[in-house]
Amino acid sequence: LQQCRGLSLSAPAAIQVTVRDALNQALDEELERDERVFLLGEEVAQYDGAYKISRGLWKKYGDKRVIDTPISEMGFAGIAVGAAMVWLRPVCEFMTFNFSMQAIDQVINSAAKTCYMSAGSIAVPIVFRGPNGASAGVAAQHSQCFAAWYGHCPGLKVVSPWSSEDAKGLLKASIRDDNPVVMLENELLYGVPFEMSEQAQSKEFIVPIGKAKIERPGTHVTLVAHSKPVGHCMEAAAVLSKEGVECEVINLRTIRPMDMEAVEASVIKTNHLVTVEGGWPQFGVGAEICARIMEGPAFNYLDAPAVRVTGADVPMPYAKILEDNSIPQVKDIVFAVKKVLNI
């Protein structure tokens, strides 16, 4: 009938949403959906969050659901873990994951190990979230990537979003999960707009934990990254495409459990592998991927050794020119691809 009247029945178009707004939507929707969900952290309530992720939530849900804490990560992380043990669903924000070192005893010894040590009788449904890795001009004490640290620990799930859909879908999945989840965001992505599909605009949209996404199909080399470096890989792939090299870009999305099936399938197709991360090289995410490729069925398909592109093996300098040389850039990825392809 609507078609007869000349009205369109087409689905709503995709919209542009920043990562900040996607996270805010996810928190709002989950606070509304489940009264057990609450948010706590430094400045998350009256100030609307240090990065405005929780903008408007305190006014909407009040003091019992959005809670400002003292500057004491060990204290408020412990409160959150205790709340999770009695089946509340806290979302614990660290102003930066560098400060989570103050609370690592709570994250690992209290949250990650409890389900195992209680023979499965005590679940700890908690999300630890906040910005991770390098921002801009914040020097060594605010720039470390903790993907390898937390990815090392059984009992945790670790997610690392790139796009707005990643951010919204992974946060909602993390809040609904009965395990402790560490969500490693990136401060420099908060204000970046990404296209969000009609499906992702739904209140029931989630991104399954443990599933990678092929952001760009290709045939010559596999690029694997997480968080902000995914964007660098997409830029490098566009540059290399003009030279006849087609890169397959895999957005890991999840660090633990890692979707090695997706990586292996891509390497079997392209016969080459480059991993990209902002963290340090030693014992890093790329090192783990390379080791598991070597131990698995994809190894026999490699036509050249895998190459890692990582942050420099130094504490982050403050000066911008030194900072730029300590973090993987597009040119570094292009160089690595040409190295692995011997061109």
- Among this protein's residues, is 152 annotated catalytic? no
The β-bridge relationship of strands 213-216 and 193-196 is: unpaired
Paired tokens of 8: 């369109």
Query: For residues 163 and 249, is the Cβ–Cβ distance under 8 A?
Result: no
Q: Which of 142, 226, 232, 272 is catalytic?
A: 142
- Among this protein's residues, is 73 annotated catalytic? yes
Q: Which of 29, 42, 73, 187 is catalytic?
A: 73
**Alpha-carbon span 226 to 207, nearest angstrom:** 15
Which residue in the block uniquely carries the two structure tokens 């019992």?
64
| Short-list 342, 43, 123, CA closest to 220 | 342
Query: For residues 54 and 24, is the Cβ–Cβ distance under 8 A?
Result: yes
Tell me if the bond preceding 257 is cis, omega within 30° of 0. yes
- So which residues are the catalytic ones? 73, 142
